[in-house]
Amino acid sequence: MNTKTKVAIIGSGNIGTDLMIKVLRLSDTLEMGAMVGIDPESDGLARARRFKVPTTHEGVDGLIAMEGFDEIGVVFDATSAKAHVANAAKLAPYGVTMVDLTPAAIGPFVVPAVNLDQNERATNVNMVTCGGQATIPIVAAISRVTSVPYAEIVASIASKSAGPGTRANIDEFTETTSQAIEAVGGATRGKAVIILNPAEPPLIMRDTVFALIGDADESTHDKVRASIEEMVADVAAYVPGYRLKQTVQITPVPEDQPVHTLAGDARVTHQVSVFLEVEGAAHYLPAYAGNLDIMTSAALRTAERLAQNTAQSTPGTSDRTAAARTEVPA
């Protein structure tokens, strides 16, 4: 008996295609039910056809009209923030669970190593951004030991790995990541910066986390280091190329440094500096595209957990179709 949950991927670009290959190669609980695009000549749709995955180039409307749509339990959206708003509205009446890889942030932010347990029954979860998936676990690792009045992250990715969707959503990237640093990471104030690195040959994803803390106790600093190392191992469990670039640095903040412009009235004594790199698994794109790999890996881990609940609660074919006909105007 097949107990896998069927999934659909909206978006046949770089992220959607890499995600499809991960589902096909790595998942014991998910099964590709449909690959959805808008360009009939896209490489993602062509590859899906070669893998015998049902396809449509008519977007979400084409997905809803596909034979077998009623068997889809989870839908990944790998399009854009603006498109996800429309896609989610069209799919809402059908009771599918959505995993949003855009910065739209309709549903709760999810970073698997940090807060997947709290959101495993959500029906639309947001995967933040590639920079968020890489750095928010570190902020959370610090904040579970001591308060973090301010945290700033810098995500540097190879320019060649930034497709049109990423480039069109730069503002949303910084805004969404900053919000999630606070909401998920636990910082009082968060800031995010993204750099598209044009270096040749392309460099793998590099991420830097700066956090201000107000605890001068060396034993607390040891706990912070240990917490970060534990968190890095947790993320590496589903993103094998995720690692510390060097040892964690905790340095005193000079008394005359104007940190009040960042941390407000909070007492700050030390800065925690964490340097990371993310090497991609090269399932679809080169290894330097770690920014794509961490997003698709995190989305896969999240969907596998959500599917456990979806399998128990997704309406049957007739129930879902009847509900949709009731809620969607003719």
Check if 133 is active-site.
Answer: no
Q: Mutual orientation of helices 290-313 and 14-26 as an angle, nearest 10°?
A: 60
Instruction: Please tell me the number of Cα atoms within 13 Å of 194 on its side-chain side.
Output: 24
**How far is C-alpha 44 from the geometric centre of its chain's CA atoms?**
20
**Among candidate residues 303, 298, 297, the one with its CA nearest the CA of residue 285:** 297
Which tokens is 315 given?
């309406």
| DSSP-based three-state secondary structure for 250 | strand
| CA 111/CA 113 separation, integer angstroms | 6
Sign of CA dihedral 246, 274, 143, 239: negative
Which tokens is 247 given?
């040892």
Q: From its phi and psi, is residue 193 left (phi > 0), alpha (psi between -120 and 50) or beta?
A: beta
Contact 4, 24 (CB under 8 A): no
Contact 148, 188 (CB under 8 A): yes
| CA 239/CA 317 separation, integer angstroms | 35
Q: State the amino acid at position 108 in one-letter form.
A: P
| CA 307/CA 212 separation, integer angstroms | 38
Contact 193, 152 (CB under 8 A): yes
DSSP H or E segment with residue 15: helix 14-26
Contact 173, 82 (CB under 8 A): no
Q: Annotated catalytic residue: which of 98, 104, 130, 281?
A: 130
Active-site amino acid positions: 130
